[in-house]
Chains A and B, each alone.
Chain A
Amino acid sequence: AQTVTQSQPEMSVQEAETVTLSCTYDTSESDYYLFWYKQPPSRQMILVIRQEAYKQQNATENRFSVNFQKAAKSFSLKISDSQLGDAAMYFCAYRSAVYGNKLVFGAGTILRVKS
């Protein structure tokens, strides 16, 4: 079974600075998707960014980018120019491209942004 590990329960960043959230995963599959979701206190799950495993190029969405290392099974999220609105719980998630389409989530990282 696939597992997703987020080793940082909590991170802090100064407004306008850059922060990186870590995620590793374990799978024997070669075709899959990886996602970062954001959950603010309002509890809505918001898709931040996604990466297809067959793509070598790292995904980027405005201030959010990933460092995808397939061999190392690592998928970190970098947030540049951090804003107060980035404060939330961030979840890394894995989904097989072949079996089931269900998401496997990591434990989450709480991101605090200091003004």
Chain B
Amino acid sequence: SAVISQKPSRDICQRGTSLTIQCQVDSQVTMMFWYRQQPGQSLTLIATANQGSEATYESGFVIDKFPISRPNLTFSTLTVSNMSPEDSSIYLCSAITGRGQPQHFGDGTRLSIL
């Protein structure tokens, strides 16, 4: 299984600023994803990070707010832009190593906006 590292593990940010979260996988993966988990709730998919092209966003999430990059097979970033207190959540990166394989997750980034 893949080992997924996320940075930072947590941050406290000011309203109106932006933060970029990094996700590094220790092996090549076929697909990478970004999820949001609001306090006390389940995980919601933000987008699928596509290598070398624009991410595929789920309903309710837009590129201007959550720009995503994936320059290669093992690395992706998620930026949370123009943050507001409603963006306070845990953001998780996940990846699949191959067809039929389960998704593995990073440890998440706990983001608090003041």
Contact = CB atoms under 8 A, between A and B. Distances in A.
A43 B102 contact: no
A106 B37 CA distance: 12
Q: Looking at chain B, what size class is its interface with the partner chain?
A: 20 to 34
A43 B110 contact: yes
Given A91-B43, A102-B45, A107-B41, A45 B105 contact: yes
B96 interface: yes
Q: Looking at chain A, what size class is its interface with the partner chain?
A: 20 to 34
Contacts of B102: 33, 35, 47, 50
B33 interface: yes
B60 interface: no
B103 interface: yes
A16 to B, nearest CB: 29
Contacts of A37: 105
